Structure 1
Amino acid sequence: MSGRAAARGATPPLWTAAEAQAATGGTGPGGWACHSVSADTRSLAPGALFVALSDVRDGHDFVADALKAGAAAALVSRIPEGLAEDAPLLLVPDVLEGLRALAAAARARMSGRVIGVTGSMGKTGVKEMLRLALGCQGRVHAAEKSFNNHWGVPLTLAAMPADTDYAVIEIGMNHSGEITPLTTLARPHVALVTNVAPVHLAHFASVNEIARAKAEIFAGLEPGGTAVLNRDIATYPILDRAARRAGARLIRFGAAGRPELRLQRARVCDRATVIMARAFGQDLMFKLGAPGRHLALNALGALGAVAAAGADIGQAALALGQWTAPAGRGARWVVRLGTPEIDGSFVLIDESYNANPSSVEAALELLSSVSPRDGQGRVSRGRRTAFLGDMLELGPEEERLHAGLASLPALADISKVHCAGPRMKALHLALPARLRGEWHEDSAKLASRVPRLVDAGDVVMVKGSLGARMARVVDALRRMGDARPDETAPEDA
């Protein structure tokens, strides 16, 4: 979890045993204090409170390992075998409910501003924008990973220091009714909805239903709170009505109409986006340290949330020049082949974390904006190549939605599209011959073909739903050479 760095010894503990027991009604030995909260022994820091959640595996099986690794205590619903009688345990009837109680206590003692972020796409990226944008103006708390579900949100809140100035809480869902308990726990002062897109259609009858589910975030909005909404999306009226019913003040962002933050122009460069906007009646020009028109809208949404939280958007906009896309969501790598001066390199854009029709369109637009380099590899011209895996949870329309990607305008600037997965076969068959690359039944087989499909000078983008495991293709591409994050300074305006 983040905030402005401070020495461990100069800060009070996150929770003492007495405070945690009072918050949860738990019992157990006293005398311990923790400085963080974790549910994963692989990333647990010494001095953490280990939360023995039961998800894929029962966290109680890892309590001994957590204590051995330096955990201050463990939140449990039963005493695991083999532990000492005086082991530092916080015993509660149900671990998840105990975690939620700890989260509620953390929220109650915090006097800063809370920003809740939801949407079909861009939640994690916007969360990271807000971390940067607000980090120069106060102490920011946000999860390091995409902790946005029924255990991730309470885990993020439980780990929030009492002196947090700004908390950014990412809230996700794939069924109706999932956001309401999370937003009522977080009680945001600002609720930002990045967009609404046709995702999770296996669980919803329409995009309008998805919008209504996203609008649940307003159920937990603090009195006098603000809703920050994307004015450009077709389902905006649904969000607008829900926000007004909740008594929210509105801040809109977009390129159409007269929103409070209006995008006038986004100049997409290879490594940056220069954004010209009208913000609250004033001209605003700033740079985002990553390319993409869709990112320009996300940045304006983030600035709307900054303003709603009472922070300075000028300072925030300046800070966004340092933002880079998170891993799996547009992170860029340069892969150097052999001797860089002789064998050259290619650029890898990692979009492997998730996919739906709208986000694939945005990713292909991003790929089309990045310039390949000629004369470096076996072929004389550098190419733009897409590796696409299945888009999941699209319901009965999945075949049509996959095939429909073949008509996207951005494909005009792309050389080849290679596909993996049974659903992506529909796109493979719909592509014109010049674009149709290879199709394989799964990402493992496509990954094995990578060295024959990529060359120096190319720009390569990998996209797919998490369950399609397109990270295998990313790993195969990175193993082709010396892969390093693309830290080249953004282009000048």
Structure 2
Amino acid sequence: MHSGRYTIGLIQQIIGAGVTSGPETLIDTLLTDSRRISNPATALFFALNGRRDGHTYLHEVYAAGVRNFVVQHLPDEIPADATFLIVPDVLAALQALAVYHRNHFQLPVIGITGSNGKTIVKEWLHQLLSADYQVIRSPKSYNSQIGVPLFVWQIGGGDTLGIFEAGISTVQEMARLEPIIRPSIGVLTHMGTAHDEGFISAAQKLKEKLQLFAHCQLIVYQSEALAGQTGLLPAARHFTWSRQAAGAKVFITKQWQGQGETHLEAMYNEAMISCVIPYQDEASVENAITCWAVLLAMGYMPAAIAKRLPYLQPVRMRLELKNGRNNCSVIDDSYNSDLQSLEIALNFLTQQNQHPVKTLILSDILQSGLPNEVLYQQVAAMLRQKGIQRFMGVGVQLSAHQSHFQVPDQYFYATTEALTDDLPRLNFQNESILIKGARIFQFQRISRALVQKAHGTVLEINLNAIIHNLNYYRSRLQPGVKLMAMVKAFSYGSGTFEVANVLQYQKADYLAVAYIDEGVALRQAGISLPIMVLNPEPAAFAQLLACQLEPEIYSFTLLKEFLSHLSPAQEPYPIHIKVDTGMHRLGFILSELDELCQLLQQHPAVKVQSVFSHLVASDAAVHDNFTRQQFAWFKQACEKLQNTLGYPFIRHILNTSGISRWPEAQLDMVRLGIGLYGIDAAVPAASGNLQPVATLKTSISQLKTIKPGETVGYNRKGILPKGGRIATVRIGYADGYLRTFGNGVGHLLVNGKVAPTVGNIAMDMCMIDVSHIEVQEGDEAIIFNEQQTVADLAQQIGTIPYEILTNISQRVKRVYFYE
């Protein structure tokens, strides 16, 4: 994270580090991720020891140009031009540096914590207060032990108000964040069940969160949130709001809904005040009331606040990756633009390997707190560092400072209209395009023009949830165990390169696909990870070799066929030997191993990269004895092959549920399949350890009132005996919503309520009963999400989640979100 601060010598003193000799350097950038290197000449890399040990990536960071490091131990080779600050705890050193920096600024800081709504409240307070303050805030949900110090480092002399959120997952974490943020105003949002698993009770979680307010002069909260535990708060000025307690500073006396909005009346200082909030859902209303209370507590006049609240804009929490026209990928972040979120979005753009060209469409950056000359120098430097090849800048300031930019193919426009008019001439082809604009520029028009039009039914894929699930399983692995991610069958319906790019960026060790053409598509999309092909077709071996894919070999016929495609002069080609230990699907049985060993010895053109097998019932306790027998047979097979070959190979037998239930059998690698997508029969859904990845949604195309006894759909199968209202929705069996869901078996969610199917499922649509639901044409209808899960749908029709996911048609538009 970029700032502009201290010499390496001063930092050494601040964090109490030992030091190797090196040149005195001015440090203005803090780095914690080897994949995200910026300003390397003036950067300081912290080798954090988390899910992955940052020390293992020191050589990569050095190769990227960084010469200053904070480490717990020195690398084996110490470059003469590098400086290493040696500390006992790298994270503590990062936090100590942030505390030192924070203490040099006396600006007021709003510190926000709670279980839900922290980011929304932070962003809405920014919208409400940015007219009066130069606000620095942590972007999106960077509220962790690492994220908070990185963004406190951003505080500069031009900032007049800070707004930071703090999230914790266990005890003692808030005590480390409080001196970094050092808020003068504390805000407590809704207290829910998020992260309950890290605490022995809800009371303990609340006590830990309230440590953020230890030195606040003002604390704002809903009276009911503390439930009589105000003694946990410091002796500061407490400003409360409530719908129940008349003694609250802001007592909500009346609430009613208008068209897309909520009206509120409240007693405040013995007078009636009112406001209108442009939302109707309860979470948004509660978050808006919290913001209302904060501004009142800060001394704003009620009438002034009432003028601002109706203009609260939705908070775009995530980037959207969509299919674009002319074989482009479009990353839509068209509602906000600031320096920090630009860097995050550019990092996501650099992950996209499926196209040769990376393009940025950017608006003027408003309210950065920096002089425009400095701001756009920094933006131009960022574009150079990220390797942007095409650039469209929109706005008066970008146009005025275009001399700073040196992108190979660049254009500047004074207005969005000018760019829109020029889109046909720009001829976007085979590019990854990031659209990043302040809301006032209305870049959604550009997004609509570039995104491929598709079927209205949408499968939303949360890439952050995939990363979370990947890291959950990684956390269960013993040191040194590799991870192979299964991306066969269109990544279980979730996408091809979109998911593979994330896995490659997150440093998965291997990918696995079912067929050669799937592997070829990944190579064409820029995926360079090793890829195992589970069911290689001999007719496509030439493509397999050309794309350096690695075949599973499960029979003598296949092995001999593959050997015939190899040249004796080439380097030994990696193959993966499948052993059948009880599945009886594919693989060499134990009695064939002697012959297999002999054949492999005779043909050095191949090298056994791995030996593996597949568990029959890793998730079923009733079959545990058979699972143990499979382990024994597999161990026997590996020992025989090892003794014959005389060189080591990777051994792997565990699938998703095996990772969860059989840690003693992790061996050299595990294969993560459907668990990556949030489904594991061995992990209780209530544990919160896995996050659902996908949401399948559609919309209501028409509403009809049905008389008693009238029938609905093909073969007159549907009937509402008492009459009622049906909604026709845009999903059918051609989209993957199977006919077995018809006639009340399946249920959709409409405005949070369950709507059963009526009649047979048609090819492109189906009907649902909405007699009991307040609904309009165009409203969303959810097939599955975190409330009604894929597992729930599978249970409705007596199948497994795999079938639900992989049946989703390719005509259903995929949209990928990244926060």
TM-score by length of 2: 0.41
8 Å Cα contact 1:253/1:297 also seen in 2: no
**2:215 pairs with 1:221:** yes
What corresponds to 2:808 in structure 1?
A: 450
| C-alpha deviation, 1:112, in angstroms | 0.6
| C-alpha deviation, 1:53, in angstroms | 1.0
What corresponds to 2:729 in structure 1?
A: 382
8 Å Cα contact 1:232/1:255 also seen in 2: no
What corresponds to 2:54 in structure 1?
A: 59
What corresponds to 2:168 in structure 1?
A: 173
**Which amino acid is 1:210 matched to?**
K
What corresponds to 1:96 in structure 2?
A: 91
What corresponds to 1:250 in structure 2?
A: 238
8 Å Cα contact 1:335/1:348 also seen in 2: no
8 Å Cα contact 2:456/2:699 also seen in 1: no
What secondary structure does 1:60 align onto? helix
Question: In 2, distance between residues paired with 1:352 and 1:251?
Answer: 35
CA deviations over 1:282-311 (Å, ceiling 9, x no partner): 6343545x6632112112223434455667
**Equivalent residue runs for 1:348-359 within 5 Å:** none
**2:318 pairs with 1:324:** no
CA deviations over 1:309-333 (Å, ceiling 9, x no partner): 667884794596234241299x999
Question: In 1, distance between residues paired with 2:163 and 2:284?
Answer: 18
**2:13 pairs with 1:22:** yes
**Equivalent residue runs for 1:319-468 within 5 Å:** 321-327=312-318, 340=453, 343-344=455-456, 372-374=699-701, 381-382=728-729, 410-411=753-754, 413=773, 417-418=783-784, 440-441=800-801, 446-451=804-809
**Which amino acid is 2:249 matched to?**
E
Indicate the larger mover: 409-418 or 39-48: 409-418
What secondary structure does 2:136 align onto? strand
**Which amino acid is 2:123 matched to?**
E
**Which amino acid is 2:215 matched to?**
L
Q: 1:73 to 1:128 in 2, by over 3 A?
A: farther
What secondary structure does 2:293 align onto? helix
**Equivalent residue runs for 1:132-281 within 5 Å:** 132-218=127-213, 220-222=214-216, 225-233=217-225, 235-238=226-229, 240-243=230-233, 246-258=234-246, 259-262=248-251, 264-265=254-255, 267=257, 273-274=261-262, 276-278=264-266, 280-281=268-269
What corresponds to 1:403 in structure 2?
A: none
What secondary structure does 1:14 align onto? strand
CA deviations over 1:160-216 (Å, ceiling 9, x no partner): 335532222322223344323322443221221112223444444543443333333
**Which amino acid is 1:374 matched to?**
S
| C-alpha deviation, 1:115, in angstroms | 1.9
Question: In 2, distance between residues paired with 1:309 and 1:59?
Answer: 43
8 Å Cα contact 1:328/1:350 also seen in 2: no
8 Å Cα contact 2:319/2:818 also seen in 1: no
| C-alpha deviation, 1:343, in angstroms | 4.9
Question: In 2, distance between residues paired with 1:421 and 1:254?
Answer: 28
Q: 1:69 to 1:105 in 2, by over 3 A?
A: same
What corresponds to 1:461 in structure 2?
A: none
**Which amino acid is 1:193 matched to?**
L
What secondary structure does 1:42 align onto? coil
**Which amino acid is 1:242 matched to?**
L
What secondary structure does 2:122 align onto? helix
**2:32 pairs with 1:39:** yes
| C-alpha deviation, 1:119, in angstroms | 1.0
**Which amino acid is 1:418 matched to?**
F
8 Å Cα contact 1:374/1:381 also seen in 2: yes
Question: In 2, distance between residues paired with 1:212 and 1:40?
Answer: 32
Q: 1:439 to 1:417 in 2, by over 3 A?
A: farther
Question: In 2, distance between residues paired with 1:232 and 1:346?
Answer: 39
Question: In 1, distance between residues paired with 2:46 and 2:300?
Answer: 34
Question: In 2, distance between residues paired with 1:212 and 1:276?
Answer: 31
Question: In 2, distance between residues paired with 1:424 and 1:241?
Answer: 44
8 Å Cα contact 1:48/1:70 also seen in 2: no
8 Å Cα contact 1:112/1:163 also seen in 2: no
What corresponds to 2:285 in structure 1?
A: 296
What secondary structure does 2:80 align onto? coil
Question: In 2, distance between residues paired with 1:187 and 1:209?
Answer: 22
Q: 1:179 to 1:29 in 2, by over 3 A?
A: same
**Which amino acid is 1:229 matched to?**
Y
**Which amino acid is 1:39 matched to?**
T
Q: 1:335 to 1:346 in 2, by over 3 A?
A: farther
8 Å Cα contact 1:33/1:72 also seen in 2: no
| C-alpha deviation, 1:102, in angstroms | 0.3
What secondary structure does 2:133 align onto? coil
Task: Indicate the structure whose relative CO is greater, using CA pairs within 8 Å and at least 6 residues apart.
Answer: 1
Q: 1:191 to 1:268 in 2, by over 3 A?
A: farther
What secondary structure does 2:255 align onto? strand
**Which amino acid is 2:806 matched to?**
S
Q: Which runs of 5+ in 1 are unaligned?
A: 2-7, 360-366, 386-405, 430-435, 456-475, 486-493
Q: 1:69 to 1:417 in 2, by over 3 A?
A: same
Indicate the larger mover: 126-135 or 66-75: 66-75
Question: In 2, distance between residues paired with 1:124 and 1:36?
Answer: 25
8 Å Cα contact 1:138/1:166 also seen in 2: yes
8 Å Cα contact 1:275/1:296 also seen in 2: no
Question: In 2, distance between residues paired with 1:126 and 1:116?
Answer: 11
CA RMSD, aligned part only? Answer: 5.0
Question: In 2, distance between residues paired with 1:96 and 1:59?
Answer: 11
8 Å Cα contact 1:32/1:72 also seen in 2: no
Q: 1:373 to 1:160 in 2, by over 3 A?
A: same
8 Å Cα contact 1:189/1:309 also seen in 2: no
Q: 1:450 to 1:286 in 2, by over 3 A?
A: farther
What secondary structure does 1:34 align onto? strand
8 Å Cα contact 2:178/2:212 also seen in 1: yes
| C-alpha deviation, 1:383, in angstroms | 6.8
| C-alpha deviation, 1:52, in angstroms | 1.6
Indicate the larger mover: 82-91 or 52-61: 82-91
Q: 1:200 to 1:320 in 2, by over 3 A?
A: same
8 Å Cα contact 2:700/2:727 also seen in 1: no
| C-alpha deviation, 1:478, in angstroms | 1.6
What corresponds to 1:488 in structure 2?
A: none
Question: In 2, distance between residues paired with 1:113 and 1:31?
Answer: 33
**Which amino acid is 2:220 matched to?**
V
**Which amino acid is 1:450 matched to?**
I
8 Å Cα contact 1:14/1:161 also seen in 2: no
8 Å Cα contact 1:23/1:101 also seen in 2: yes
Q: 1:275 to 1:109 in 2, by over 3 A?
A: farther
What secondary structure does 1:109 align onto? coil
Q: Highest CA radius of gyration, 1 or 2?
A: 2
**Which amino acid is 2:223 matched to?**
R
Question: In 2, distance between residues paired with 1:62 and 1:310?
Answer: 50
